[in-house]
Structure 1
Amino acid sequence: MELSLTDVIGIFGVGIIVFAYILLQMEKMDPKALTFSVLNSLGAFLIIVSLLYEWNFASFLMEFIWLLISLYGVLKYFKSRSIAAVNDGKED
């Protein structure tokens, strides 16, 4: 079996998501950390790229939802930092 470049991209995306999940379960990563959401976003994006070449609607839907949820986590992280910075400024 020969792997195409898009297969390798998708497999790399799966590896990133699995790596983030392993670190989470080993308590080496905080689920609220930016890194966790970024790794999940990147992994889902890479899987979506591979699915554009080997279409599977169910897998695409799953990864698209995974990507949206992960991007929500990224936005939530930056929003909480911005609120914290505003609150820190009020205490002066």
Structure 2
Amino acid sequence: MSSMFWHDWAGLVGVALVLVAFFLLQAHKLSGQGYTYQVMNLLGAFGILLSLIFGMFNLSAFVQELAWFLISVYGIVRGVRARKAVVPPAV
């Protein structure tokens, strides 16, 4: 394992984040609409993308992780907009 590069570690951390987020979702410990779940998926996909870009490139895995990343961005933006819509202005 000593011959692993930084991008290999980024990929492993990314995989761990995505899997832990999914497990916590299934265990009802996280909400699919919550920031924690979305950010874990975003950072996980980013780590995996780094490992694919700087390591052994795989087009199908890259497309999947890019989609995962973009869907996470969408979920975060949607959540921010929804929270702003329900917060009454301060008087």
Instruction: With the length of structure 2 as denominator, give the TM-score of the two structures.
Output: 0.90
CA distance in 1, matches of 2:80, 2:67: 20
Query: Over the residues paired in the alignment, what is the CA RMSD in angstroms?
Result: 1.6
CA distance in 2, matches of 1:5, 1:35: 25
Partner SS, residue 4 of structure 2: coil
Q: Quick one: which of 53, 60, 63 aligns to 1:61? A: 63
Pairing 1:12-91 to 2, within 5 Å after superposition: 12-53=13-54, 54-85=56-87, 88-89=88-89
Structure 2: gaps of 5 or more residues: none
Count of aligned positions: 89
The one-letter amino acid paired with 2:32 is: P
Q: What is the percentage of aligned positions where both structures have the same residue? A: 34
Quick check: which has more Rg, 1 or 2? 1
Q: Higher helix fraction: Structure 1 or Structure 2? A: 1
The one-letter amino acid paired with 2:36 is: T
